[in-house]
Structure 1
């Protein structure tokens, strides 16, 4: 039953065809898990809280950084460095005190996924990486939970609804993970600041439709939105019964990046600091963009990731080469390319990149 206050709060829902009090009561009884409190997680959590979902679970281990503020509109400049889960929970309670919030300041993994997801009716993917998407998908299959998928990159976004009454799932769309080098993340390729708001709102919309049993959710359909042209497409997803291959959870990092640990050698920022202090003879290469160097630098030789193929001759062949970027992702890609193309074995990725250096070596260095 809805209270008098709830009837007043949600009154704009009630005149809607096929909605009414019954659908609102379904929202009041529902429990939704949101994996990721970033660009997609901000609008998804806000709209579901405002709409009257009873319980919202939030999973994220990250803290707010200044580069988040371009698209993650729940956060403020003075909140940089604070837990995203804690901040999101606080702001959702301020938006709607009726909503119960469960906070998980951690990374979803194969050990905790089933026990966490078991508590909820529906899971929404607001992440930015393939291992977690496959993990969410497989856990939802094992526990028969609907899964709202969302993805953004540059100017384009995608949304789909998986695993409703054994409908198509993520593995029907992507049977195998793509080559990591062929799918750069938003740190490398960028993302339009407004795009997460658009795609996240559509994800929230699909969740409400599934919970309330209204409309036609994107079941066995992939919705694609291009913000540059304002064109949309809906592609049919064939149900190949890929769920039948899922009998348990696996190591998803290994599944998506089978050669990651085998191919790329790493050094820590402490090891690099010692090399610098000892004045060792090595080459330090920075594969970030010029504007990033203006924020923070280790004084390495700047060769942006996209320019690596045209500058292969600048890579030392007879001494140790340390490659770095902001977090270690782009530098890892550069090393994989150079090892594959030139067969070099003297390349080392700086684990954690500039961010780790700021945390462990130079706290005065500006993080972004």
Structure 2
């Protein structure tokens, strides 16, 4: 093994701690890569098993700002795989514990906790602009929501999942036309790790690889897993990386209930059987008016009753690319049975 080499004094003066001096010595990464990490903002959803592996390594590697979104508290059953917590933390918020420990450890405000659950109703308020989203959640509702947020806000997404002895990692880049829903158009029946159990060393393996992908993506180095899926079987020590093809026959938009095509929309309009709702932002609606009624998808949770609850016609949500119209449909489908959405990009 080659020695790390000398670190210049100018580099050492860039930080009052020893978080990243060894990474700077890596020739492909260097000071430029480290400065990109230091300027980056990463959002991590989930402070459980994967979050415990991901967040400390993000902080140790030199990421400048980490927002952690999680509303869960520590329980005794977590301790076997969530190594940042101890018995004295039981009953306390996971996001706050991680933030307090890491900010104290590095004497810097690095980690910013959000003690809330990510939902369709609140994501606009608690998900700011960032360089990268990391999904460490353990339920499909949150995973699908993050996939839609990533597409809509054009933020790269790194997704990890665990089950028994197996783990998987996917990376979704805005430049590609492959999303989480293309791979998993419907939720599986797999139970969360807290119920089924997971091989505890695998949590650290998958979390570390997710951080490696994050660093490479931020620094712009190496081969990314974008457009691929890494499958890890820790029981048999097998690792596979498979390419994910964008196949329209697998597209979630063609499988989703509640979706209508453009021809159906035109037929309903001629028969005056529908209420068309433009779910763009107000300034977008002013530039590209898609319907007389404009309700931003982000405002829908607080004002849908006043505008839509007593509507007898079919309600169709519309936006240019179908992302926000689908979010609106998913949020309202259990409250109003006669609602649908359309993707104008498939005209």
TM-score of the aligned structures, taking structure 1 as reference length: 0.64
1:144 aligns with 2:188: no
Distance, in Å, in 2 between the alignment partners of 1:240 and 1:221 is 14
Deviation at 1:118, TM superposition (A): 2.9
What are the superposed Cα offsets for residues 123-172 of structure 1, whole Å, 9 maximum, x if unpaired? Answer: 10000010100000101111000000000010000001013423421012
Matched, 1:168 2:206: no
What's the counterpart of residue 246 of structure 1? 323
CA 1:167–1:213: 2 relative to 1, 3 Å: farther
Mark the CA change 1:253 to 1:77 in structure 2 (over 3 Å): closer, same or farther: farther
Shift of 1:245: 4.0
CA RMSD, aligned part only? 2.3
1:183 has 2:190 as partner: yes
Aligned to 2:299: none
Q: Determine the C-alpha separation between the residues in 1 that align with 2:162 and 2:81.
A: 12
CA contact (8 A) 1:114 1:139 kept: no
Are positions 1:206 and 2:213 aligned together?
Answer: yes
1:197 aligns with 2:223: no
> 2:111 & 2:88 partners in 1: Cα distance?
23
- Tell me the SS of whatever aligns to 1:232: strand
Q: Which residue of 2 aligns with 1:230?
A: 237
Do the aligned partners of 1:155 and 1:195 also contact (CA within 8 Å) in 2?
A: yes
Partner in structure 2 of residue 159 of structure 1 = 169
Rounded Cα–Cα distance in structure 2 between residues aligned with 1:120 and 1:175: 26
Which of residues 5, 17, 26 is equivalent to 2:27? 17
The offset of 1:183, in angstroms, is 1.8
Match of 1:145, SS state, is: coil
Tell me the SS of whatever aligns to 1:197.
helix
Residue 15 (structure 2) aligned to one of 6, 9, 27: 6
**Number of the residue aligned with 2:306:** none
Change in Cα spacing, 1:238 to 1:101, as seen in structure 2 (3 Å) is same
Alignment of 1:88-107 (within 5 A): 88-107=98-117
Unaligned stretches of 5+ residues in structure 2: 1-9, 254-320, 335-347
Distance across 2 between alignment mates of 1:213 and 1:195:
27
- Aligned mate of 1:54, from 61, 64, 68: 64
For 2:159 and 2:244, the matched residues in 1 are separated by 13
Are the equivalent residues in 2 in contact too, given 1:50–1:95 (CA < 8 A)?
Answer: no
What's the counterpart of residue 69 of structure 1? 79
The answer to whether residue 122 in structure 2 is matched with residue 115 in structure 1 is no
Cα displacement (A) at 1:194: 1.4
Work out whether residues 53 and 99 of structure 1, in 8 Å CA contact, stay in contact via their aligned partners in 2.
no
Cα distance between partner residues in 2 of 1:104 and 1:29 = 20
CA distance in 1, matches of 2:101, 2:69: 15
| Separation of aligned partners in 2, 1:250 and 1:190 | 34
Instruction: Please say if 1:134 is aligned against 2:141.
Output: no
Contact 1:28/1:52, CA 8 A, preserved across alignment:
yes
1:252-280 deviation digits (Å, cap 9, x = unpaired):
5898xx8xxxxxxxxxxxxxxxxxxxxxx
CA distance in 2, matches of 1:3, 1:252: 50
Is 1:215 paired with 2:193? no
Deviations 1:320-347 (A, max 9, x none): xxxxxxxxxxxxxxxxxxxxxxxxxxxx
Contact 1:160/1:220, CA 8 A, preserved across alignment = yes
State whether residues 232 and 240 of structure 2, in contact with CA within 8 Å, keep that contact through their aligned partners in structure 1.
Answer: yes
41-50 or 232-241, larger mean C-alpha shift: 232-241
Q: 1:245 to 1:189 in 2, by over 3 A?
A: same
- In 1, Cα distance between the equivalents of 2:62 and 2:329? 36
Contact 1:148 1:160 in 2 (8 A): yes
Contact 2:70 2:94 in 1 (8 A): yes
Partner Cα distance (1:251, 1:153) in 2: 30
Rounded to whole Å, the distance in 2 between the matches of 1:7 and 1:16 is: 20
Summarize deviations over 1:3-43 as a string: whole Å, max 9, x none.
60528722211221311000000001000000000000011
Deviation string 1:212-237 (CA, Å, 9 cap, x unpaired) is 10101101000000111111011111
**In structure 1, what is the Cα distance between the partners aligned to 2:212 and 2:329?**
32
Unaligned 5+ residue runs, structure 1?
A: 259-368
Q: 1:58 to 1:252 in 2, by over 3 A?
A: farther
Report the CA distance between 1:2 and its aligned residue. Answer: 6.1
